[in-house]
Amino acid sequence: MRNQRWYIEKIVQLFYPRRCPVCDDAVPMKEGLACEACRKKIRYIREPKCRKCGKELRQEEKILCADCTNRRHEFDYGIALYDYQSMKESIYRFKYQKRCEYAKFYAQEIWNKYEDEIKRMEADVLIPVPLHKSKLKLRGYNQAELIAKELSKLSGIPCDSKIVYRIRKTVPQKELDVQGRQNNLKKAFNIPSDVVKLNKTIVIDDIYTTGSTIDAVSGGLKQRGIRNVYFITLCIGEGI
C-alpha cells in the first residue's frame, strides 16, 4: 500500500509539479519539497535567541529580547523557524495565494530543526490558531491548521482544531500597534471547558510579531487549567 501511494504521488508530480516554497517555480523531480539552490537562500533563526519568544538576539550575553524583558507573556516559551524577511514572500503566497502544498515543506523543516525540542515539550496536542469562520470561508483553509496537521504526522502528536474557536471577527493585526493588537483580541477566542484533561499544549501559527495572538490563546488555555502552553511559528522578527 505504501509503495502504491509513493508511485501515485510521483505520477501526480510528473503532471502537476510541486512548487518550491522559496521561488514558487516547479521543483525538479529529484530535489524533494524545494529547489536545492533555494534552500541556501533561507535564513533560519540562530543562537543567541530569546529564551521566551525565540527571537534571534544581537547580543550573546542577553537571555531575553527587549519585548520579553518589559512585557509579561501568557505562554511558557516558543520557537520559530525562519527570519521573517527571508521568507515573507513565501508566507504571503501560502496564506493568500492557495499554496497549501507548502505546508508539508514547512512542517518537515520544523521537525528537522526542532525534533529534540518538540519531544522535550511532551505536548498532548497541537493547537492551530483558528481563523474566524468568515475569513475561513473566504480563504478556504486555515494556514496554521495545515502546518499543524503535517507536523502531527511527523511527530505523532495529535492535532485538534476544535479546542480553540475564534468567535469575534477582528481587524488584521498588522494594521495595529502593540496595545491595539492586545485590545483587538480581547474575547476573540472561546475554549470549551473539557480541555482540562490536557496538561501540555503547543500552539501553532505562521508569524509571531508581538505575540498578542499567541498570548490571547495561551491565556485562555491556562484559564481552563492547562499547565504549560508552548508555541511554534514559522517566522519571527529580530529581537534586540
For residue 13, pLDDT over 60 is answered with no
Sequence-distant (6+) residues with CB within 8 A of 194 are none
Query: Using one digit for the tens of pLDDT, what is the confidence trace for 142-187?
Result: 999 999 999 999 999 999 999 999 988 775 655 555 665 556 576 7
Residues 66 and 155 occupy one common structural domain: yes
β-bridge partners, 78: 231
Residues 151 and 213 occupy one common structural domain: yes
Residues 4 and 101 occupy one common structural domain: no
Residues 9 and 77 occupy one common structural domain: no
Residues 141 and 197 occupy one common structural domain: yes
Residues 193 and 86 occupy one common structural domain: yes
For residue 9, pLDDT over 80 is answered with no
Whole-prediction pTM value? 0.89
Residue 194 banded pLDDT, cuts 50, 70, 90: confident
For residue 211, pLDDT over 80 is answered with yes
Residues 147 and 74 occupy one common structural domain: yes
Residues 35 and 121 occupy one common structural domain: no
The pLDDT mean for the chain works out to 88
Residues 156 and 37 occupy one common structural domain: no
For residue 15, pLDDT over 60 is answered with no
Residues 47 and 37 occupy one common structural domain: no
Higher pLDDT, 175 or 213: 213
SS3 content of the chain, % helix, strand, coil (to 5): 45, 15, 40
| β-strand pairing of 200-208 with 125-128 | parallel
Residues 110 and 221 occupy one common structural domain: yes
Number of domains in the chain: 2
Query: Using one digit for the tens of pLDDT, what is the confidence trace for 69-119?
Result: 999 999 999 999 999 999 999 999 999 999 999 999 999 999 999 999 999
**Mean pLDDT to the nearest integer, 112-135:** 96
For residue 32, pLDDT over 60 is answered with yes
Residues 65 and 100 occupy one common structural domain: yes
For residue 228, pLDDT over 90 is answered with yes
Residue tagged 469562520 (cell numbers) = 133
Q: At 16, is the secondary structure helix, strand, or coil?
A: coil
Percent of the chain with pLDDT over 70: 85
Instruction: Identify the domain containing residue 66 by its residue range.
Output: 43-236
For residue 7, pLDDT over 60 is answered with no
The whole-number pLDDT of residue 178 equals: 60
Residue 18 banded pLDDT, cuts 50, 70, 90: confident
Query: Using one digit for the tens of pLDDT, what is the confidence trace for 135-148?
Result: 999 999 999 999 99
Residue tagged 504549560 (cell numbers) = 228
